[in-house]
Homo-oligomer: A and B are copies of this chain.
Amino acid sequence: MSDKHESPLDILPIVSTTMADQVEERLREYITNKAFIPGDAIPKELELAEALGVSRNVVREALSRLRMLGMIETKKRRGMVLAQPDILSGMERMLHPHILGIDTRKQIFEFRLVLEVGQASLLFARKTDEGIQKLEAIVQREAQVQTTKEKVECEIAFHSSLYEMAGNETIKRFQAMLMPVFEYVVEYETEHQFHAVGSVTHQDLVDILKTGTAADFASGMLKHLEPHIRLLS
């Protein structure tokens, strides 16, 4: 945040924090230390301003940040209360591929590879016949489509259905957020590489889901993603 790379001397500058930064930090500490739980009332703006010795404007700015994160909400007749925060809301606001650095994009791409392989245990705990039928329908459609666009759609539909089946809302939303970054990296690599499929196909993965084990599935997914994994360095 600071201009540390612009200083001609090899000395760290004082990091400038605004009053709003400090008040936001203090409020989060306060909420944590007092062990507030969702639904608990938060002191009013004016009370907070007086206790902290700052202006109401600064308190309002800090509260606005917490409201954006979903940490607090305003209830009719009750004022501000601690909310059940949405842990992904801050991240969702920022996952635009072009504003992320190349390193971050690369890490996010790897993150997705990790999730695909790692959710094997969830899939085997939660697989259903309907879910497997849905996957089979996608595989059949995939065999018939001609255009690159349609093939990419099937690719995305197949993997999205796996996340659906794994049944973890946090992971599902997380991967949906990563999707644009994933597509960006795929474009960044050549179209040719994207269609390079490992030795295990979508059909093979469905067969493993039907008759194999979680370990078989993790192993199969590693082979399916092999063209991407090979590029890890």
Contact = CB atoms under 8 A, between A and B. Distances in A.
Contacts of A104: 84, 87, 170
B108 A118 contact: no
Given A36-B99, A111-B170, 20 more contacts: A1-B83, A20-B64, A24-B68, A38-B101, A57-B57, A61-B61, A69-B94, A71-B94, A84-B101, A87-B94, A87-B95, A108-B170, A114-B119, A114-B122, A117-B118, A117-B121, A120-B222, A122-B232, A215-B218, A215-B223
Contacts of A38: 99, 101
B232 A222 contact: no
Contacts of A96: 31-32
A201 interface: no
Contacts of A70: 1, 94
Specify which of A35, A64, A103 lies most central, judged by the most chain B CB atoms within 10 Å of its CB. A64
A3 B76 contact: yes
A151 interface: no
Interface residues of A, number: 77
Interface string A18-32: 101100100010011
Contacts of A114: 114-115, 118-119, 121-122, 168, 171
Specify which of A36, A107, A171 lies most central, judged by the most chain B CB atoms within 10 Å of its CB. A107
A110 interface: yes
- Identical copies in the complex: 2
Given A99-B85, A100-B84, A219-B218, A90 B118 contact: no
A65 interface: yes
A113 B118 contact: yes
